[in-house]
Copies of this chain bind each other. A is one copy, B any other.
Amino acid sequence: MSPVSVPMPTLPVRAEVASQFALLADPLRLKIVEALSREQLCTCHLVDITGARQTAISNHLRLLREAGAVVSEPEGRYTWYRLVPGAFTEALRALSGFAHDGPDAAHLRPACATPVG
């Protein structure tokens, strides 16, 4: 049994990490997350910043909210949004593992052809 057969011990919940990446995979949503990482904003701000329609912003905010990436705080007729601090921690950890240059690992080549048949 080569290390190939070992079923990925690094990430505990790959689907969750993939979901975090999926949240950042859309340019508009990335723009929203980027803006919210700097300061709290309400929907009207995000509409102004991104230039997108209010409904589109609201849809993306709902996705982010349901995923636990942002929290909403209604205040009067405005609703303030802010980024949850540890929302993308697992994604960052996974990506850090990928992005680090692995010169040794890059040359590893496990046995390929199945030995018996």
- Using CB atoms and an 8 Å cutoff, list the residues of chain A in contact with chain B: 3-5, 7-8, 10-11, 14-15, 17-19, 21-22, 24-27, 30-31, 33-35, 37-42, 44-45, 48-49, 78, 80, 82-83, 85-89, 91-92, 94-99, 101-102, 105-110, 112-114
Please measure, in the bound complex, the distance between the C-alpha atom of A97 and the C-alpha atom of B27, giving whole angstroms. 16
CB–CB A37/B112 < 8 A = no
CB–CB A34/B48 < 8 A = no
CB–CB B8/A48 < 8 A = no
CB–CB B112/A42 < 8 A = yes
Contacts A4-B48, A82-B106 known; A14 to B40 CB distance under 8 Å? no
Chain B residue contacts of A88, Cβ below 8 A: 95, 98-99
**A45 CB contact (under 8 Å) in B17, B102, B112:** B112
Chain B residue contacts of A40, Cβ below 8 A: 106-109
